[in-house]
Amino acid sequence: KKSAAQNSIIQPDFKFEDMGIGGLDSEFSAIFRRAFASRIFPPNLVEKLGIQHVKGILLFGPPGTGKTLMARQIGKMLNAREPKIVNGPEILNKYVGQSEENIRKLFAEAEKEYKDKGEDSGLHIIIFDELDAICKQRGSKNDGTGVGDSIVNQLLAKMDGVEQLNNILIIGMTNRLDMIDEALLRPGRLEVHMEIGLPDEGGRMQILKIHTSKMRTNNIMDSDVDLNELASLTKNFSGAEINGLVKSASSFAFNRHVKVGTLSGVTPDMENMKVNRNDFLSALD
């Protein structure tokens, strides 16, 4: 009989390079070893060890570094149900007065499936983006409305309840680790913490390759573009900023081909358009 743990083992044909995420291989391996290794062991071994699966992880680091991409890929890697993504500020603003009810609803589907199917249930992932917004350290620095408090309390209650449920994984994400309520970070809650920092030069090279892969396979990138050079020129860029750079270089290339009057009906000659080194340098500028 399969268990929820076995239903969610790493996909056998899973490859890092197919994920469309650059520069985070070691973070992925580490998170797998620290958070998910128990899920590929036979359930009876896990039982014999007397351990429980990790129920929650926290990804933290600067904006645009791939936390959301990573959270989604973790879901795929674990063969989980389509993750539910909730946004901290949205919960706070949209659901004032009914926040507890909304947290309850988030868990309801997974709880029901576990009740119906027990260990045969699939894995459910709930992703909390901008978690800091709802947990500005209870009691101290919050906004005075107490709304954040009650959401955090409800979340804690749910996470503690999750202990009996093998089929829920919570992924919290934040740019502000210092704002996260410590109670949420304890073992049994968001217990594995992983920093997703800015990419190094090798990482930037991988990200550049990912975001230029279409223009390269379609032969729309000029041979004078040297990705190694761009990787070294983009120090301190996040993955999102590198993505923005590629888009911006494309629009410089477009602009070189758009003549006055084009927008009023003349079709520009895009046949021979290529994005060249200069477009990238203008975009960098």
Q: Which residues bind ligand ATP (CB under 6 A)?
A: 21-24, 63-69, 129, 175, 207, 210, 239-240, 243
Shorter beta-carbon distance to ligand ATP: residue 148 or 239 = 239
Residues 119, 168: Cα–Cα separation, whole Å: 12
* Residues 6+ away with beta carbon under 8 Å from 283: 245, 246, 248, 249, 252
Please name the amino acid found at residue 262: T
CB of 58 to ligand ATP, least distance (A): 13
**102/243 with CB nearer ligand ATP:** 243
Give 123 or 207: the residue with its C-beta nearer to ligand ATP.
207
Whose CB is nearest to ligand ATP? 239
CB nearer to ligand ATP: pick between 36 and 128: 128
**Minimum CB separation from ligand ATP for residue 127, in Å?**
10
CB of 71 to ligand ATP, least distance (A): 8
Closest distance of CB 131 from ligand ATP, Å? 11
Closer of 67 and 158 to ligand ATP (Cβ): 67
C-beta neighbour count of 266 within 10 angstroms: 11
- Contact indicator for 24, 71 with CB cutoff of 8 Å: no
CB of 242 vs ligand ATP, minimal distance in Å? 7
Q: List, as one string, the DSSP characters of 110-177.
A: HHHHHHHHGGGSPPEEEEEETGGGT-S-TTTSS-SSSHHHHHHHHHHHHHHHGGG-SSEEEEEEES-G
Strands 84-87 and 192-195: unpaired
Q: Residue 152 is encoded by which pair of tokens? A: 């955090």
User: 261: which 2 tokens?
Assistant: 């009057």
